[in-house]
Chains A and B, each alone.
Chain A
């Protein structure tokens, strides 16, 4: 098999893996938009906040320690424990649920019925508030995140492809885990929304707020629920991206990777987020491989948006989005 074809296959597979990571971020956007019509600008910061909290809990870091020390002249920084990853993830989940409750209680409960642009602006404010809160709680230093996920080249794939083609493919173990976890997440979300009472209520709210209210579904509860689930998805995304680069404030910028995925897959479809992520991941990687060298490289950021725009032109609601027809 020609080398270029082998390389292209490797790039294709890595594009799929990268797409899964993009989709993980996009999922959080979709969940909240689907249930409440809010485009949550703070989703990237939620991933950052969740990852910061996870590392802080795992390492036994005292939240707000610098503030406490400055106010009381103390020298406390750590509780002295190191929690197992699973326990820390569960505790972080609790924090994200509390955050979801607070966000609804303090912000969105007061904005029911407002224009989408008002809700969007509220999430911008929320994003910057959470970024500052995360900074004051846990500090701005880069934190190593190790929840036990393996990283580095998958030796089995390397060997198998080498034996078959004479060239060993590189696939990162972390990306394989991300794929498995994303698949499990989508299956769990599908089962939850199809077969649980709360899930059906969530779908009812997504379909028609007024109708859902009229049959006794609590909008507040549903919003807290969906923000909690989005918080958990943000935690998963934060773990995956934070494991790659360390937990640091640039993590909030991963939201930029989710936008073309949403444009392509639609804002209301969970399968759309996954398929959109895969198309964007493969598209940008193959374009960089094939065309990048001819134009000086660094094409991925802009090409993802070009690809999404192309889809938008022919299918404005996205691949899996709901087509909305307003009759006057």
Chain B
């Protein structure tokens, strides 16, 4: 951790002081991380996974297509203003892609990155309607977005109730922010379709006190609770659910409420808690042998090397893998290993993740296969359900990857993205 901070401070100093950028041939991947502040416990494993994967490519393969990767880490503290400062400080270094791990920062970067011609990948977060690539030309949110997540949660509840949830009561406990409010519209539309009653329970930042919300849940006795939280809100919510003896198997978190950090403080009581995911979990993949050999044991890990295999480390690694494969695709499309942000965008738009590709990367069956197109920057939106085993201390997938309800979601995405296009004078299209 301390090493990481020293490195981050060094990187910031270098970024601030150097008049010349990195070697022109480097592939520059900024890492807008948060290793300090209230959300550090989540930011650290994600950033470690992201950087370790890119370091592995450097150490084992000499980079991507023979071109070394230059990682520029910048500390955002999960603060939107700092995130924008990081973007401004690093974009001139030849940044190819931004993955800020924050919906707030993503919203701020959408117009800036669009104007600057640098792609943003908000994987499983950010503005959902960015899935419409004809409007959001530089923004991508594959392989799944928030509205997919909301639909997956309802699909899971449907599957548990033989497809009939009319008359059921479902509560949404959500972070009272733009992020937490994202699924409401979708859940309302799905409520109209399936006939369940939706109970909305906002929790103010940071979410350390949730007694009112959980007393209400105890009174109203919803059949299921869906959670859209981040940081301390998740741990407190799970503990409160344990306290009121809410059945954990009926408690479902979005993928940002499904890390070890969220369940471990509640101990055995968290056993059976469920969370959505768009990639697999655990360490049973060949890539971890390489990560240990080339990165951790070689003393080149981004952090202390103690996060390997955690849910958020896996997600950071997955994000880096998708970025690296998009860069590789861009190199193939343009016939040059030295790519620009515009070429990177082309690579992202032509990205296809196949089982063969994942197996070759040491990640067989790690996630669903999907394909990105100009019109669809969100991939196929597949998601699966994971469940926490407190005794074993592991997450396990308890469902196959399934589709979201596109019949409901597509009109919502169309409406929201077209409203954005109208507000910003964008003519939708692929050229």
Chain A, 7-52, CB within 8 A of any chain B CB: 7, 10-11, 14, 17-18
Interface centre among B3, B219, B267 (most CB of A within 10 A): B219
Q: Is the CB of A141 within 8 A of B44?
A: yes
Interface residues as binary, B255-297 with A (CB distance below 8 Å gives 1, 0 otherwise): 0000001001101010000000000000000000000000000
Q: Which residues on B sit within 8 Å (CB–CB) of A180?
A: none
CB-based contact A70/B3 at 8 Å: yes
Q: Which A214-264 residues have a C-beta within 8 angstroms of B?
A: 241, 244-246, 248-254, 257
Name the one of A170, A250, A257, A289 contacting B38, with C-beta atoms under 8 angstroms. Answer: A250
Verify if A136 is at the interface (C-beta below 8 Å from B): yes
Cβ-defined contact, A292 with B212, below 8 A: yes
Contact pattern, B 210-243, Cβ under 8 Å of A = 1, otherwise 0 = 0111010011000000000001100110010011
B20 within 8 A of A: no
Interface band, chain B: 35 or more
Residues of A within 8 A of B67 (CB): none
Q: How far is the CA of A151 from the CA of B3 in the complex (A)?
A: 37
Q: How far is the CA of A146 from the CA of B232 in the complex (A)?
A: 17
Bitwise interface map of B from 3 to 26 toward A, beta carbon under 8 Å scored 1, else 0:
101100000000000000000000
Chain A residues whose C-beta falls within 8 Å of the C-beta of B309 in the assembled complex? none
B2 within 8 Å of A by Cβ?
yes
Which of A84-92, A118-126, A293-301, A306-314 makes up part of the contact surface?
Answer: A293-301
Of A18, A144, A298, which one neighbours B204 at CB under 8 angstroms? Answer: A298
Q: How does the 8 Å CB contact mask read for A125-145 relative to B, with 1 for contact and 0 for none? A: 000000110011001111011
Judge whether A7 and B219 touch: CB under 8 Å. Answer: yes
Q: Judge whether A203 is part of the interface by a CB distance below 8 angstroms.
A: no
Q: Is B40 an interface residue (CB 8 A)?
A: yes
* Bound form: Cα–Cα A198–B315 in Å: 56
* Nearest-CB residue, chain B, relative to A301: B204
Q: Which residues on the A side are within 8 Å of B215 (C-beta)?
A: 7, 10-11, 14, 170, 289
Contact of B219 with A288 in the complex, beta carbons under 8 Å: no
Interface size class of A (residues with CB under 8 A): 35 or more
Residues of B within 8 A of A170 (CB): 215, 218, 243-244
Residues of A within 8 A of B232 (CB): 245-246, 248, 250
Which residues of chain A are within 8 angstroms of B35 by Cβ–Cβ distance?
140
Contact yes or no, B218 A140, CB < 8 A? no
Say whether A172 contacts B44, CB under 8 Å: no
Which of B118-126, B195-203, B334-342, B415-423 lies on the face that meets chain A? B195-203
Check B211 against A142 for contact (C-beta < 8 Å): no
Secondary structure type dominating chain A contacts: helix
CB atoms of B212 and A153 under 8 A apart: no
Least Cβ–Cβ distance between A289 and chain B, in angstroms: 7
Task: Please state if A297 and B201 are interface contacts (CB–CB under 8 Å).
Answer: yes
> Known: A70-B3, A298-B203, A301-B204. Contact between A245 and B239, CB under 8 A?
yes
Q: With A245-B239, A246-B235, A301-B204 in contact, is A144–B264 under 8 Å at CB?
A: yes
CB distance from B58 to the nearest CB of A (A): 20
- Known contacts A170-B218, A249-B37, A18 near B264 by CB under 8 Å: no
B208 in the interface, Cβ–Cβ < 8 Å?
A: yes
Residues of B contacting A70 in the complex (Cβ-Cβ under 8 angstroms): 2-3, 6
- Within 8 Å CB of A141, what residues of B? 41, 44, 261
Enumerate B150-180 residues with CB–CB distance to A below 8 Å.
176
Please tell me if the beta carbons of B206 and A250 are within 8 angstroms of each other in the complex.
yes
Query: Known: A136-B5, A245-B265, A297-B200. Contact between A151 and B243, CB under 8 A?
Result: yes
A168 — nearest CB in chain B belongs to which residue? B218
- The CA-CA distance from A244 to B265 in the complex, in Å, is 8
- Tell me whether A140 and B206 are in contact (CB under 8 A): no
Kindly list chain B residues whose C-beta atoms are within 8 Å of the C-beta of A296. 200, 202
Please report the C-alpha to C-alpha distance between residue A257 and residue B204 in the assembled complex, in whole angstroms. Answer: 12
Which residues of chain A are near B265, meaning CB under 8 Å? 142, 144-145, 245-246
- Distance in angstroms between the alpha carbons of A153 and B265 in the assembled complex: 17
Shortest Cβ distance from B112 into chain A, in angstroms? 29
Q: Which of A172, A248, A252, A300 contacts B212 (CB 8 A)?
A: A300
- Would A300 and B239 count as touching, CB distance under 8 A? no
Are B212 and A140 in contact, with the CB atoms below 8 A? no
Q: Does A209 contact B (CB under 8 A)?
A: no
Task: Given A142-B235, A144-B267, verify A249-B211 contact (CB < 8 Å).
Answer: no
A297 cross-chain contacts in B, Cβ below 8 A: 176, 200-202, 213
Task: Please tell me if A66 contacts chain B, counting CB pairs below 8 Å.
Answer: yes
In the bound complex, do residue B200 and residue A248 qualify as a contact, i.e. CB atoms below 8 Å apart?
A: no
Q: Does B408 contact A (CB under 8 A)?
A: no
Q: Contacts A70-B2, A245-B232 given; indicate if A142 touches B245 (C-beta within 8 A).
A: no
**Closest partner residue, chain A, to B7 (CB atom):** A70
Query: For the complex, is B59 an interface residue (Cβ under 8 Å from A)?
Result: no
Contact partner of A249 (CB less than 8 A), chosen from B6, B40, B245, is B40
Knowing A250-B206, A300-B209 are in contact, say whether A140-B236 is a contact too (CB < 8 A): no
On chain A, the residues within 8 Å of B235 by CB distance are 142, 245-246, 248
Q: A244-B236, A246-B264 are in contact. Are A285 and B201 (CB under 8 A)?
A: no
Taking the complex as formed, is B304 at the interface, i.e. its CB lies under 8 A from any CB of chain A? Answer: yes
**Is B36 part of the contact surface with A, judged by Cβ < 8 Å?**
yes
Distance in angstroms from A202 CB to nearest chain B CB is: 31
Bound-state CA distance A226–B205 (Å) is 32
Contact: A285 with B1, CB < 8 Å? no
Tell me, yes or no, whether A64 is within 8 Å of chain B by CB: yes
Which one of B1, B208, B213 contacts A253 once the chains associate, using CB atoms below 8 Å?
B208
Q: Which residue of A lies closest to B261 (CB)?
A: A142
Q: Is A98 an interface residue (CB 8 A)?
A: no
Q: Contacts A142-B261, A244-B208: A249 and B38 contacting too (C-beta < 8 A)?
A: yes
A152 at the binding interface (Cβ < 8 Å) = yes
List the A side residues contacting B2 at CB < 8 Å: 64, 66-67, 70, 136
Question: What is the chain A residue whose CB lies nearest that of B203?
Answer: A298
Chain B residues lying within 8 Å of A151, measured Cβ to Cβ, are 239, 242-243
Q: Which of B356-393 contact A (CB under 8 A)?
A: none
Q: Which residues of B contact A257 (CB under 8 A)?
A: 208-209
CB of B334 to closest CB in A, whole Å: 40
Q: Identify the closest chain B residue to A253 (Cβ).
A: B206
Of the candidates B1, B267, B304, the one having the most CB atoms from chain A within 10 angstroms of its own CB is B1
Residues of chain B within 8 A of A139, CB atoms compared = 1, 304
What is the CA–CA distance of A102 and B37 in the complex, to the nearest angstrom? 24
Do A152 and B209 contact each other (CB < 8 Å), given the known contacts A140-B44, A298-B204? no
Distance, CA A214 to CA B355, complexed state (A):
82
Question: Cβ of A142: which chain B residues have Cβ within 8 Å of it?
Answer: 41, 235, 261, 264-265
Q: From A244, A248, A252, A292, give the contact of B41 (CB < 8 A).
A: A248
Give the chain A neighbours of B38 by CB distance below 8 A: 248-250, 252-253
Q: A140-B41, A296-B200 are in contact. List 4 more A-B contacts (CB 8 A).
A: A18-B209, A152-B245, A249-B37, A250-B39
* 5 A-B contact pairs sorted by A residue (CB < 8 Å): A135-B36, A141-B41, A142-B264, A151-B242, A289-B215
